[in-house]
Structure 1
């Protein structure tokens, strides 16, 4: 234990981590994994196609990114009624 502490002392600047708002433990991530598990394994959930859970994880990752991934996904996702490649049946019916 002493050797570990000595070898990793430079990574233990906890006062600076607190000032910068960085997490001090892995509890936040563990809680997130638990929440995902509840959502994926909840009652009346069907994940047999293998795509649904992966899609949910991709969206969550996009939310956490600090770039335009989420906006890009929402603009280009399949089923987006405002995407140019999607035929909007309501607009088509109104135009007819």
Structure 2
């Protein structure tokens, strides 16, 4: 019976995690830059202006949440790469101590 083999590209995993972190930063920066430009200023009696304020807040909340989710994803990938590499090295050290 053939045993299953698992190969993890730690560098790729770490790299994707770093890139995801950069995307999260870009999303946060874009959100901050857009904050004052998404809605028209409040005008007395303007239902449309009020609606744009509500929509802008919802959109910004969603962008902030997305940026947080992408950052968490990136951190998870880089942590997984670190943990996998650490466990792999620990296992290799244990195997090297097995008498032959």
Higher relative contact order structure (alpha carbons within 8 Å, sequence separation ≥ 6): 2
TM-score w.r.t. the length of structure 1 is 0.29
Larger Rg: 1 or 2?
A: 2
Higher helix share: 2
TM-score w.r.t. the length of structure 2 is 0.28
